[in-house]
Amino acid sequence: MYRESLCVYRKALGDAHGDVAETFVSLGRLLAKEGKIQEIHQLADQMQCSGAAPRADKTVLFRASADFFAAIANWEEARMDLAKAIQLDPTDPLAHHGLGALLVQEGNLDAYRGNCRTSLERFGKTTDPNTADRISKDCLILPSSGADLALIESMSEVAVSAPTNHPDMPWFQVSKGLAEYRRGNFALAAGWVQRALAMGGANWNREAEGQMILAMAQYQLKRAGEARAALARGEEIVEAKLPKRDSGNLGRGWIDWIIAHALLREAKGLIDGKMPYETVDHPNSEVQSRAELPSGSQSPANRSQPKSEREILHRAVRI
């Protein structure tokens, strides 16, 4: 239907007409849903050449393609599509949001830090609560993004200052809790996350993230029993409620799927000291497999707590 409409509109109205641009985008979304990625890229090329839509509209096609690839755990293709979207429209916060998570997933720590710096430069003064939440959260996934924690804190404050009936308020509260945790305010972190968890398991990715942050905050507050209980609840959610990586369908929440798993590994490394050294997807990652540990190194199971920020960073990266 969209193909026929596109042909008719282009002939009758010309490429510059708004209905043509809208039909281009609708067709792209349909192709993404059907997994016809090569056709999406061909469509994007047509849009580029025809001038049928503003640059911002063209990014929708690449984001749709990235969503498809990320949902099937094809991180590299998803990352390349989001890079194209950002090239077309550097002011698109959704593209930056997805890219940050993918760089963590691939273990590309330098690029992750670079994306955080760029995102904060572009969106650090936003007054939109959703943008503030997404961009600040991106820079909190790992123990240190090299970003300005004071700026991230102010962005998380923008988010939780939204009206209390905002539909995404529980998400904002989880991110706020993570921001407080990264700043060392462990009691505040636990308080914010508990507010979100009190809303119940409306979203399992969010629930898992909240339990991991709560577990780490309680551990830092010397409440070992509460920490292990939260960690156990979070692990159970990840195992029982979240899709498996090889399922072929991580869903539209793939960004928070990545974040939940990163926080799980960090929490286990902190509380259990059993974070395995595993090779990440990115070929240049410095993360070592257990078999590649240097001679004389301690086994991860013998480590009660990560010994350095660098070690924590590398342990928290996604396989």
* Residue-wise pLDDT tens digits, 268-302: 999 998 654 232 333 333 332 222 222 333 333 33
- What amino acid is encoded at 222 in this protein? K
Look at residue 2 in the predicted model and tell me its pLDDT.
Answer: 47
pLDDT on residue 29: 62
Percent of the chain with pLDDT over 90: 56
Q: Are 259 and 316 in contact (CB under 8 A)?
A: no
Positive or negative, the Cα torsion across 111, 261, 291, 273?
A: positive
| pLDDT (mean) for 174-193 | 97
Residue pLDDT, tens place only, 195-204? 999 987 679 9
pLDDT of residue 147: 86
**What would the pLDDT profile of 51-109 be if each residue is shown by its tens digit?**
544 555 577 778 877 888 898 899 998 999 899 999 989 999 999 999 999 999 999 99
Tokens of 285: 């990652």
Domain 92-316 CATH class label = mainly alpha
Q: How far is CA 48 from CA 7, 24, 76, 173, in A?
A: 16, 11, 23, 40
- pLDDT exceeds 80 at position 118: yes
- Sequence ranges of the domains in the chain: 1-72, 92-316
